Structure 1
């Protein structure tokens, strides 16, 4: 069983669910004043740092999987579990980025009505920065997932084999 790419609608659903939850929290904040809105700057910094780490790991997997098998012996040993873990982290980063993008976007949109108040102005800035970090993570997660794809094997589904079989059929 091979891993499949995450469909686009999973990201769209994550954004919608996150937006609804973030908007509900913003509405709840207006009536109860609990201080649940926004995100401190270090949360956004950690999100970006996580994205960079996952991208680095995905580049290592991509480099190993695209290296000629004869030259792989020269590289350090690379465990398959590491590649699988990197793929799982990339998928999780992309989906979490989509949900957080919706979460902070929902808060941002509902707080725009109160932009003139200094409290809400600070939250709008925090949410905008967090939205950027979450969008970065979603994109990095999608790219990292792509980088973790294995090249096709020389089996019956490989494009070269299919083309050779098609030519052989025309020759007969």
Structure 2
């Protein structure tokens, strides 16, 4: 299985999409009079807890993957499914963190002009805390994705194997030109 790093522009698209969604919600809240802005405090705490959990899992995968194979016997075996699931969680956390940071940021942008009202000032504070938690989750997701990278095995992708193959090709070409 080959997994690729998430391109940087995916995060940018997620932030922009979330930003427009948050701005639309704030505009709808303003015109309709419904109280839809803000986020409960426990959601920000839950977002941070999920981020820390993914980071701990990614650190476990990284520790196992970068340990010398001769010393791995001392470590608890790592289930490959757990390693793949951790990578998927890290990718998802990064993208969701970006989208939610945009979502809450969009609400902040359109609500800041109404800060004199208690409802809007409370919503801006809640969204600011949630936005910080989401940016932290995005960073944790990006770092977690990096931590889940496996070093090249002794397969054809390994730099040592590529160098040895080039040496064999040069040597065989030199032998062919002598005849």
User: Which bracket does the TM-score occupy, shorter chain normalised?
Assistant: over 0.9
State the 1:157 CA deviation.
Answer: 2.0
Is 2:55 the partner of 1:92?
no
Query: What TM-score comes out, normalization by structure 2 length?
Result: 0.91
Matches for 1:75-114 after TM superposition, within 5 Å: 75-114=75-114
Aligned to 2:32: 32
Aligned length: 172
State the 1:77 CA deviation.
Answer: 2.1
Query: Structure 2, unaligned stretches of length 5 or more?
Result: 175-179
Aligned to 1:156: 156
Matches for 1:17-166 after TM superposition, within 5 Å: 17-166=17-166
Deviations 1:34-69 (A, max 9, x none): 111111211111111110000000000000111111
Distance 1:128 1:166 in 2: 55
State the 1:169 CA deviation.
Answer: 5.3
State the 1:161 CA deviation.
Answer: 2.3
Query: Structure 1, unaligned stretches of length 5 or more?
Result: none
Aligned to 2:177: none
Distance 1:90 1:57 in 2: 9
Which shifted more, 37-46 or 56-65? Answer: 37-46
Question: RMSD between aligned alpha carbons?
Answer: 1.3
Distance 1:163 1:116 in 2: 67
State the 1:168 CA deviation.
Answer: 5.3
Distance 1:170 1:88 in 2: 41
Deviations 1:7-39 (A, max 9, x none): 111111111111111100000000112111111
Larger radius of gyration: 2
